[in-house]
Structure 1
Amino acid sequence: MSFFDDPWTDPTDRDAFSLNFVPPSTVAAVAAEGLALRARFGRGGTAVGIARAEGLAGRSPLQAAEMRVIAGWFARHSKVRRATGWADPEKPSAGWIAWQLWGGDAGRAWVEAERGRWLPLCTG
C-alpha cells in the first residue's frame, strides 16, 4: 500500500505531497542569470540563495512549503531594491544579484500568482 492509498492519511496531506509547482522558464532564466552574475562579480546571495537558484534554473518542482519560503524571502528583502547599483549592468548591487538568484521579479510574480494554490496547503 502506498502513502496515497492509506485511508488514515488526511486528504489535505495527500494534496500537499502531490501538488508540485514547476518554475516557469522565465523564472528559470532569471535564476540562471543570477548564478552567472554571482560567478562574475563574486558577491550576492548566500549558500541558501545559490541552492535556490540552482533548483529554479533546473526547473525542479517545488512543494507548497517551499513556495511559502520564497514568498517570505521576497517580502523580507523588498527594501533591497532601493540600494545603489540596483540592476546596474556594470556594477550590480549584491542585493540585485541575490534577488535574481531567487527568480527576480518574475519569481516574485509567479509565487504570488500561485498563492491561492499553495497557501491553503501551508496553513493549518
Structure 2
Amino acid sequence: MSDASDGDKDDDSGHRPPQKVQEAAQRAVKWIDEGKAGKGFTDTGEHRAHQLADGQTVDDEVIKKMRAYFKRHAVDSSAEGFHGGEDGYPSPGRVAWDAWGGDPGRDWAESQKIDGE
C-alpha cells in the first residue's frame, strides 16, 4: 500500500488505515510510552494512536474527526521540534500529529468517501 487512497472503505466495516498511517501511529505510541506526548495530550489522542497503529477499521465519524484535527492543528508543523533534526524533536505537537496518522493520515482521511457526501 503506497498511496493515500489505499485502505479504502470496506463494505460494511469502515475505513482500514493504510500501512503508512499505521506506521506513523506506531511511532506515536512509542513516543507516548516514552513520555514525549506532553501534559496536554488527550485520552482521545492516545486511543486514536492505538486504533490506527493496530490497523483497526474506523467509521465515517472518525474520518470526519481526523479531517477536523488536521485542519485545526496544521499550524503545529511550524513549531520547533516538529521535524526530525530540530531541537526538541519530537515535540508534543508532533507526537499528537502522528497519533492521528501523521501526514499520511491527513492525506488518507481527505481521500476517503464518506456516506452522504
Do both proteins adopt the same fold according to a TM-score greater than 0.5, normalized to the shorter chain? yes
- In 2, Cα distance between the equivalents of 1:43 and 1:101? 10
1:7 is matched with which residue? none
Name stretches of at least 5 consecutive residues in structure 1 with no aligned partner. Answer: 1-16
2:99 is matched with which residue? 101
Verify the 8 A CA contact 1:19 1:64 in the aligned structure 2.
Answer: no
Runs of 4+ that moved beyond 6 A: none
Would the alpha carbon gap of residues 119 and 69 (structure 1) be closer, same or farther in structure 2, given more than 3 Å must change? farther
Does residue 49 (structure 1) correspond to residue 45 (structure 2)? The answer is yes
Does residue 21 (structure 1) correspond to residue 20 (structure 2)? The answer is no
Q: Give the drift of 1:19.
A: 5.3
> Could you give the per-residue CA deviations for residues 32-60 of structure 1, whole angstroms, max 9, x where no partner exists?
00111122243243211000010001111
Verify the 8 A CA contact 2:31 2:95 in the aligned structure 1.
Answer: yes
Q: Which entry has the higher C-alpha Rg, 1 or 2?
A: 1
After superposition, residues 4-43 of structure 1 pair within 5 angstroms as 18=12, 20-43=14-37
Question: Once structures 1 and 2 are overlaid, which stretch shifts more, 34-43 or 57-66?
Answer: 34-43
Name the % identity.
Answer: 28
The CA RMSD over aligned residues, in Å, is: 1.9
- Alignment: residue pair count: 103
Verify the 8 A CA contact 1:86 1:93 in the aligned structure 2.
Answer: yes
Verify the 8 A CA contact 1:84 1:93 in the aligned structure 2.
Answer: yes
Name stretches of at least 5 consecutive residues in structure 2 with no aligned partner. Answer: 1-10
Structure 1 length normalisation: TM-score?
0.74
